[in-house]
Amino acid sequence: GAPTVSIFQKPPGLIPPGGSTTICCTCQRGYGSFVLYKGGQQLHTLKQSGSRAEFSISNATYKDRGTYVCHYLEGGIVLARSDELEVSVEELHLPRPDLSVLPGHKVAVGADVMLRCTATHPSTGCYLYREGWIRALLLSGEQSYHNLSHVQEGDSGRYSCQCYTAINALREWSAVSRSLDLVVR
C-alpha cells in the first residue's frame, strides 16, 4: 500500500516571537526523502533519521506562521503528502496554565483518566496538545478538562495545554503549560 505521512509540531502550541519549535515529518517507510512546503512554496528537503525528519524553527518571526505540508518522495517521485499543519506565532501575554492528570501519571490499560487544564486567570477556553497530534483539542468551560475513558497504550504520550481570553475579537494567549507524560501500562 501507499505510505502515509504524518506531520506535527514538537513541542506543540503557539510560538512566541523569538521562540522555537520543530516540525516533524514521519513515514513508516524509512528510505525515501521528505520535502517540506509552506503555503505551497518548497522550503527544504529534510534530512532523515530512521523514518522521521525534522525542521527546526528558531528565533521565530511572524513570517514563520502559516500552513506546512510534508511530501514523501522515493526516487524523486512524490508518494504521499501529509495533512496540513497550521503554525501560529503570537505574543504570549498571560501566565501559563497548570495541567494535571487524575488519577495519576501512570495508569493501567482500561482506566479512566481526566486531564485538567487550570488557567491562573479568567479564560475563554484552553487547548489540549499531545505531541504527535496534528490538531489540538479545544477544552471549553470553567473547568477545562478532557476525559479519556478506557485508556489504551496508544493514549500514552506527552500532553500540554494553552489557554486564551477573547476580549472583543482579540485573543490574548497564555504561555504553554509544563508538559506531562501519561504512561499507560
Residue 114's pLDDT is 95
Do 68 and 124 belong together in one domain? no
Last residue of a domain, one of 55, 87, 119: 87
Do 111 and 135 belong together in one domain? yes
Last residue of a domain, one of 37, 62, 87: 87
d(CA 20, CA 39): 19
Do 75 and 106 belong together in one domain? no
Residue 1 CB partners (closer than 8 Å, separation 6+): none
Confirm if 132 and 172 have CB atoms less than 8 A apart: no
pLDDT over 70 percentage in the chain:
96
d(CA 14, CA 24): 16
Instruction: Give the mean pLDDT of 4-32.
Output: 92
Question: Does the pLDDT value for residue 3 go beyond 90?
Answer: no
Dihedral sign of CA atoms 68, 70, 71, 73 in order: positive
Do 70 and 103 belong together in one domain? no
Instruction: Give the mean pLDDT of 69-90.
Output: 93
Do 31 and 57 belong together in one domain? yes
Q: Can you tell me which residue has the cell 500500500? A: 1
Structural domain boundaries, residue 100: 92-184
Total domains, the chain = 2
Band (pLDDT 50/70/90 cuts) for residue 109 is very high
Residue 141's pLDDT is 65
Do 67 and 96 belong together in one domain? no
Do 63 and 128 belong together in one domain? no
d(CA 150, CA 72): 35
Residue 142's pLDDT is 63
d(CA 150, CA 142): 25
Residue 104's pLDDT is 93
The dihedral over CA atoms of 55, 60, 64, 68, expressed in degrees to the nearest 10, equals 30
Do 36 and 78 belong together in one domain? yes
